[in-house]
Amino acid sequence: MNLAHTRYVLAGFFVFLLAACGGGGGGGGATAVSVDKASVAVSASVVDATVGTPTVTLTISNATGGSYYVSGATSHNGVATLSPGIFSATSAVVQIHLKTPYTLAPATYTDSVQLAVCTDQACTQQISGSPVTVKVSYTVNPAPAGAQPAMTVSTNALSLQALPGGAAPPAGFSVAIANAPSFALTAKVTQTSNAVVSATIDPPTPIWNTPPQGGFGVDITLKSPSQLPAGVYKDQVTVVLCLDPACVNPLAGSPQTITIAYVIGNSVPGAYTVSQVAVEAVDLVADGTRGLLYAAVPASAAAHPSSIAVIDPVNAVITSYVAMGFDPGKLALSADGGYLYVGEHNGPRIARLVLPGMTLDATITLANDAHGQVTWPIDIKVQPGSPKTIAVARDFKNDTQAQGDGVVIYDDTVPRAQIAGLDAQGNANQAIGWLSWGSSAATLYGSGFGEIATLAVSASGAQVSASATPGNVGRIQYIGGVIYADSGALLDPTTLMASAVLPAPSYPAIAVTADGSIKRVYKITTTGGVGTYLNQYDADTLALQGHALILGVYNQYLVESDFMRWGSNGLAFLATSQQAAINAPNDQIVLISGPFVVQ
């Protein structure tokens, strides 16, 4: 007998053809069918990706020549489909395919499978013993104790704020998955849309609603403040996480709803106000005598190039621009408020302006170095008590590494003979790019390229008296017996090594300043993409006194600029609005003021 089978699937039935040829069967009795089992029992866990496929075998006795058809029908509580297995001359194996365990809720599902053997395709002529019935019991068990998949979220509430007309802040949260199964889960994210544009899974996946198994982020895009009037906007983002696409089996903890409060405004009541002044600038100084700020606007600026911008920080406005006639770089202000020094970027000049009129008083021209190279001022600091004496950290023109080319002391326009940081041949042997006067006019500190040095200043000039390598500390400021570094390190003026580091929260410091009169230290830090924060510390104990998000400053970086106090309760720094753009030009002054600064 040769075997052939054809499958038809219609309304839950399948039909197989057993084709017999030759002299037929033997035995002389009636052709009949029997089944090897009357019932099947299977179990699986709801976190199993697959389940076994039970089979039953039909046996035909006393088969005669001709064809036999096998048809089947089933209920579909736990059974998905039926299909043929191995057929022989006298038997047929039928496979019972069960539904995937994680698509069913934990329970026992019973089905009845009916199988018929007929001599005609329409199955109106059944052989003896047909039809046969097989009872199927399919138990889906809950996840084993301690292995139940569960979800949690990093927060159930987000409070966000943006400046009117500014940029929308980045927002989002993370979803953690415990006891993730081996198969893909299904996540669905929905949101209201008062101020939320979208909420999407991050990282994206080939199928948007299939998250990575260990967890994922949800990125929230908010409407631009320019689209919304000032006020408070509330939304909800809901995350549903399930074992199956139909969400018959949600994970423990699902769904999770995150409430969002989005404020358009520049003030945090009772704490601080943030303002931004749009100006391209490369340096900034505060004039405590007049309550003003001065910003150096480079030659590359689109508006008012090669000028000094005069800023009223209280009202956050530029009151005037003063043309310089060259590309301005570093700025320095005498302690008595009488002079503003303006260094030329990549050029040898330093202009001394008389305040408040901003009139030119003197021009200092830096000498070429020992090798005949043009030098330019990469930092300028006015000597305490001597408004016409300055220390200048030089570099040679077009040096792309800003490695330093000595420190020169100038009285009016006349340099002192001794230059610190050079060897006998005039080569730089100490990298100095930033300066800060110490406790007296006889002590100067310089830092750069992982090095820091003490410079002894005398009538002859300056010379390095001590040095150390505490690592890349960046800009430095000597305030109240401590050298504060932009890296967040506090350096001992005697050993030049770190005596402490400003503690968490948030990422490492990108700018630091201090106010000795109220014993407060300030650190600007970024979380690497979510926002920029201001931390305030007690100068004696370094205990954290305050931690706040700086409104409107998102993933923006300080670029070669100072961070300073102004007024009774203000702070100022330069930043770039070009998100995620390291070393992009500064195009705004960020002003922070309020009780938070001096609390």
User: Each residue's pLDDT tens digit in the chain (599 positions)?
Assistant: 222 233 332 223 444 555 544 444 445 689 999 999 999 999 999 999 999 999 999 999 988 877 788 889 999 999 999 998 777 778 889 999 999 999 999 999 999 999 999 888 888 999 999 999 999 999 999 999 999 999 999 999 998 888 888 888 889 999 999 999 988 899 999 999 999 999 998 876 544 456 677 889 999 999 999 999 999 999 999 999 999 999 999 999 999 999 999 999 998 888 889 998 999 999 999 999 999 999 999 999 999 999 999 999 999 999 999 999 999 999 999 999 999 999 999 999 999 999 999 999 999 999 999 999 999 999 999 999 999 999 999 998 887 666 688 999 999 999 999 999 999 898 889 989 999 999 999 999 999 888 999 999 999 999 999 999 998 888 999 999 999 999 899 999 999 999 999 987 766 778 899 999 999 999 988 765 557 888 999 999 999 998 888 877 765 555 555 799 999 999 999 887 665 445 566 788 999 999 999 88
DSSP annotation of 63: -
Residue 127, CA distances (Å) to 37, 42, 123, 188, 413 in order: 19, 30, 10, 53, 120
Global confidence as pTM: 0.72
> CA-to-CA distance for 373 and 396, rounded, in angstroms?
6
Strands laid side by side in the 91-98 sheet: 32-35, 55-61, 91-98, 79-87
> CA-to-CA distance for 291 and 287, rounded, in angstroms?
6
Nearest Cα to Cα of residue 4 among 70, 61, 81 = 70
Model pLDDT, residue 478: 96
What is the CB neighbour count within 10 angstroms for residue 373?
A: 15
Residue 495, judged by CB atoms within 10 A of its CB (0-12, 13-18, 19+), counts as exposed
In three-state secondary structure terms, 303 is: coil
Strands laid side by side in the 544-549 sheet: 509-515, 520-526, 532-538, 544-549
Binning the chain into helix, strand and coil, the percentages to the nearest 5 are 0, 50, 45
H or E segment to which residue 174 belongs: strand 171-178
Model pLDDT, residue 4: 29
> CA-to-CA distance for 410 and 351, rounded, in angstroms?
13
DSSP annotation of 254: -
Residue 371, judged by CB atoms within 10 A of its CB (0-12, 13-18, 19+), counts as exposed
